[in-house]
Amino acid sequence: MKKGLLILIITLCIFISPKCFADDKALVDNYIDGVAYYNGNIVTNTWAYDLSAKNYVKLDEEGHEIMRLDDPKKDPTLKHGKMHVKAEIPKNMNNDIIQISLSTSLYTYDIRLDKSNNFETTIDMVVDTYVVHCVDLDRETNIKFPQQLKVYENNTTELSLDYSKYEENEVVEEEKGFDKRIIIYAFFGIIGLFIILLISLFYKAKNI
């Protein structure tokens, strides 16, 4: 009974967490006669992460291994394009660091913009459609950015971030204000504690 309650509590805590997890890559946990499986199901025609070998394996249409790499982005058969990322910033943000994360279910790219690269860089990327998971900055700016970006073969995709409207007085005032994220985290925390309390009372009443 206690074990079931613990599992339920952990599940609820994960469900109400404000963080978002986006990791849906294919996995392999077993091989039968050279064919890849995960949870008893055959895995075919994809790159998959081998949980035993701790690397990636490329599988054909029948689930047989084609090649293994520590990073599927190194596959020599892949087509590549480029992404040019640039941020327009006011002078008072010159010491800030912008972290950008783009990924598919298989490929992930983390980009850093700061004064060392003049808030601008171009990187080589595998041709695919990428989800822009976050554009992270130490201060809250509510800047808008595209949710998805397509990288084309032998072409350059542009990602422009405009922080120029955040003048000195506006950013300083924002920093002095109360961080809205604290309220959000506190809200989810209170809900989680309330649900856990209700579950505990339910099981106590059931055992009486």
Amino acid at 6: L
In a domain, 37, yes or no: no
* pTM value surpassing 0.95: no
Looking at residue 22, what is its pLDDT? Answer: 43
Neighbours of 73 (CB within 10 A): 17
* CA neighbours closer than 13 Å in the CB half-sphere of residue 48: 25
Mind listing the pLDDT tens digit for each residue in 119-151? 999 999 999 999 987 777 666 666 778 889 999
Q: In tens digits, what is the pLDDT along the chain, a chain of 208 residues?
A: 544 544 444 444 444 333 333 456 799 999 999 999 999 999 999 999 999 999 999 999 999 999 999 999 999 999 999 999 999 888 888 888 888 999 988 899 999 999 999 999 999 999 999 998 777 766 666 677 888 999 999 999 999 988 877 665 444 444 444 455 566 667 777 887 778 877 777 666 666 6
Task: State how many domains the chain has.
Answer: 1
Domain hosting 84: range is 80-173
Mind listing the pLDDT tens digit for each residue in 79-88? 999 999 999 8
- CATH value at residue 148: 2.60.40.1120
In a domain, 144, yes or no: yes
* Cα 96 from Cα 157, distance rounded (Å): 24
In a domain, 138, yes or no: yes
* Cα 18 from Cα 187, distance rounded (Å): 10
In a domain, 199, yes or no: no
